[in-house]
Chains A and B, each alone.
Chain A
Amino acid sequence: MTINCIKKFLLLSGALLVSIALSAQASFTVDVPRVVGLDENFRLVFTAGGEPSSFNPPQLKDFDVLAGPTTSTMTSTQIINGKRTDSYQVSYTYILQPRNIGTFSISSASAVIGGKTYHTNPVSVEVVKGEANNSGNSSGTSSQKSNGTISSDDIFMKMSVSKGRVVKGESLLATLKLYTKVPIGGFENVKFPTFNGFWSQEIDTPSNIEFTRETVNGKIYNAAVLRRYMLIPQQTGNLVIDPSEMTCLVQVRASSGGSRSMFDDFFDSYQTIKKRVTASSINVNVSPLPSGAPPTFSGGVGDFQLSAQLTKDTINANEAVSLKVSISGSGNLNLVETPKITFPSDFEVYDTKISDNTSKSGKGTSGTKEFEYPLIPRGAGVFELGPVVFSYYDIGAKKYKTLTSEKLTLRVGQAAEGSANSSASLPMGVNKQSVKSIGNDVRYIRSGISGLVRGNHFFFGSVTFFALIVLIIASFFLMDKFFSKRIERNMDIAGVKNRRANKVARAKLRNAESLMKQNLYSAFFEELHRAILGYCSDKLNLSLADLSREKIASSLEEKSVSKEHTEELLALIEVCEYARYAPDQDKPEMGQNYQRAIKLISDLEV
């Protein structure tokens, strides 16, 4: 009965909501319980938002029509902030009774509203053989526990997952449902499960709990979704979803003994019983992703597409441009990491902006995730960006897939004049940059001469080394000996020669010397002249008869006697000749000429 109240209220509020939302738009919907008992009457309601000009009812061959269609209309007027909204609703209600057990479909009905034909979706009704304790339509004389005890059959909670076996990263759906046969006044101490080992997100948290009828083990329950979670396992192995529990405040009618007055119905006294319900824990088997993941794999599991584009193809240096990489598809999209892209080192790269445009559903997140890489190229040139590579594990194909975008070409022109970076007063010059070390590697191998040696490879201490030392020492002593010998000999030869030459000269001039001592003037010069000529004939191998001054001069030249000596010799001969015939007064000095002759002969002899 209370359920009925709730239902009616819900229906009304739902209709109101619909009418508010669709006040301008006509609609045509069907409402029927999904599960009914065999002996149960139920309501089939077609609701038209707007005034239908005609209504074409469906064929209801599997059910007995107990009543209907009864038409009811509802008008509502709403004024919100002076804005008036009117809604008009017509509903056609059938009361049906099933004939057999099974699932039957009710074909679509159609209505023409405002000149347009609307169809309802075909709906199916499951008919079970169960006690219809909470019949949707009527009177509330059903069997209700009134003694204050409620079995766990009457109310329980159940956690279910969409998949019991998943791979790591594959999303699954966990639904927490409450099944009840008794009216519930409220909840207390609600403890929702923690999902250890999962990335979890509530995707469906209804603000007011809507009950639908479902059968469990052949019994009809009012079931409501309490929470729905999207789970993405982050660990492998057997993951346990903790039990969840709460205390339900169940309203039971207080039994006032056997006497029931007719007022009892109006003054029902209800008793609230607290009932703890728990949903048992549930296991999810998570298997690890297979090995052989490509290096660009970053945890994406599902089915994705990749696209990459630049906001501009051609820009100037020092201007901003963005590379947009979008990954779309379904899977654990919200866990997809930013793809790593290596940009030319001349680019300044700022933090990646990530924008999500996703919706969560039973298949995981689907939609598009966009990564925006803001860039500022600092130098001109044509740059190749990418390709952007993204790898993921395809659940359907059960293997890794790698998506590669096309290469993007960015043309960067020279920095625009007067851009923010260049100051107006100093238009010349560029920003000097130090050469940055980007990587580190060993220097390259020796490729040229190998210098391969076998055995003792040190020059020091080798035979050659010592041989060279011995050679140097030996050549030193040899050279030393040679030099000392030569100097000795040189000194000797000079002395001997000098002495000998002097001796020869003195011997030649011995007569002249004695004549000089006797002071015989002309005899001295005669003797001197004879001695010099004799010396010349001896020296030059010429006969005395041939001796002329010219002959002497030419012969001396042949013998490579220096010119001074030749001239001295000729001068001496001339002095001698002159002295022999010269008058007495200017006679040349004897001693002086004698010394000249000795020196000359000595010099010539050396």
Chain B
Amino acid sequence: MKRILLIITTALIYLTAQAQSPKEIWTEANNSYTQARYQEALDGFLKIEKSGYVSSALLYNIGNSYFKMKEIGKSILYYERALKLDPSDKDVINNLQLAREFSLDKIEEIPDFILKTWVKDINYSLSSDAWAYLSIISMALLALLLLMFRYGPTPKARKGSFFGAMASILLILFSVYFSWSQKHGYYKKDTAIVMKPVSTVKSSPDNSGNTLFILHEGTKVSLIEEIGQWKRVELTDGRQGWIYSLDIEII
């Protein structure tokens, strides 16, 4: 009897020691980061990521750890991933900007139509979840206002609630669209970061193609199509070419 108990307890201890909860790893890795042991911190964060957990904060911390290890390409990749998950995060935006200053390529961006940038700015001012919650709240509001419209005690209240209902319909449409577009953008794997310090972009998807231009670590490209081991990419300034798949990592 005693022996069995002993076995069970040792097994339990072993199990708990083995299966550290992600929360524990998180705290440990944070401590390592605080004490400037960035490699250990990074290992911890990556372990959490590997176990299938994800959050904007986790991706942000991984990006920070890579930045401290002077791996600019990786840090940009993880900041971009964090931004995809939550485009409203000011810290991520700030750090991404800083990391980009360390990447070599300077590409002129084609400016968007002003209305588009406005919509984008509004869209990225809240996260997908926040927009989703907002849409739920405005739906509830719409329901209340409709009831009010139908059964309001005075004509004035009925009139007011009508306009309120119209406004909340607009709010629902926008928030649902924004929430959807952010989520859709996250699952759409159409952008990538160059991971190789120097990577050539060819005119055709094989090594014999002419070299069109050279990209350096940390540059963001959008993916258009894929043939075998090669991917057709487009820069923000509109130039296109074929790059070897292993040179880039999809955000």
Contact = CB atoms under 8 A, between A and B. Distances in A.
Interface of A: 440-447, 449-455, 457-461, 465, 468-469, 472-473, 475-476, 479-480, 483-484, 487
B183 A446 contact: no
Contacts of B139: 468-469, 472
Contact of B183 (A440, A458, A484): A458
Contacts, number: 104
B147 to A, nearest CB: 6
Contact of A458 (B23, B94, B99, B129): B129
17 contacts: A442-B64, A443-B64, A450-B58, A452-B26, A452-B48, A452-B54, A452-B58, A453-B53, A458-B128, A460-B132, A460-B180, A460-B182, A460-B183, A465-B136, A468-B139, A476-B143, A476-B147
B60 interface: yes
A158 B232 CA distance: 70
A473 B34 CA distance: 49
Nearest to B129: A459
B53 A460 contact: no
Contact of A445 (B48, B53, B64): B64
A469 B136 contact: yes
Interface string B193-228: 000000000000000000000000000000000000
Interface in B22-66: 22-23, 26, 30, 33-34, 48, 52-58, 60-61, 63-65
Contact of B91 (A443, A453, A480): A443
A473 B140 CA distance: 8
A451 B135 CA distance: 22
**Chain A interface main SS type:** loop
Given A443-B91, A483-B147, A468 B57 contact: no
A174 to B, nearest CB: 45
A450 B57 CA distance: 6
Contacts of A458: 128-129, 132, 183, 186
Contact of A457 (B55, B136, B150): B55
Given A450-B26, A451-B56, A445 B128 contact: no
Given A450-B22, A450-B58, A451-B58, 4 more contacts: A443-B95, A446-B57, A446-B91, A454-B52
Interface of B: 22-23, 26, 30, 33-34, 48, 52-58, 60-61, 63-65, 67-68, 85, 91, 94-95, 98-99, 128-129, 131-133, 135-136, 139-140, 143, 146-147, 150-151, 176, 179-180, 182-183, 186
Given A442-B64, A451-B56, A459 B99 contact: no
Contacts of B99: 442
Given A450-B22, A460-B129, A461-B183, A443 B94 contact: yes
A476 B55 CA distance: 35
B55 A452 contact: yes
A459 B133 contact: yes
B60 A445 contact: yes
B30 A483 contact: no
A442 B48 CA distance: 22
A459 B128 contact: yes
Contacts of B30: 445, 447
Contacts of B179: 459-460
In the complex, the 7 A-B pairs of residues with the closest C-beta atoms, listed nearest first: A446-B57, A476-B143, A460-B132, A460-B179, A451-B55, A452-B53, A459-B129
Contact of A450 (B23, B95, B151): B23
B57 A459 contact: no
Contacts of A475: 143
Contacts of B136: 465, 468-469, 472
A275 to B, nearest CB: 62
Identify the interface centre among B55, B60, B85, B98: most chain A CB within 10 Å of its CB.
Answer: B55
Contact of B54 (A441, A457, A465, A473): A457
Contacts of B183: 458, 460-461
B22 A452 contact: yes
B151 to A, nearest CB: 5
Contacts of B48: 452
Contacts of B58: 450-452
Contacts of B143: 472-473, 475-476, 479
B147 A480 contact: yes
Nearest to A447: B30
Contacts of A440: 98
Contacts of A449: 57
A446 B61 contact: yes
Nearest to B181: A460
A455 B52 contact: yes
Contacts of B150: 480, 483-484
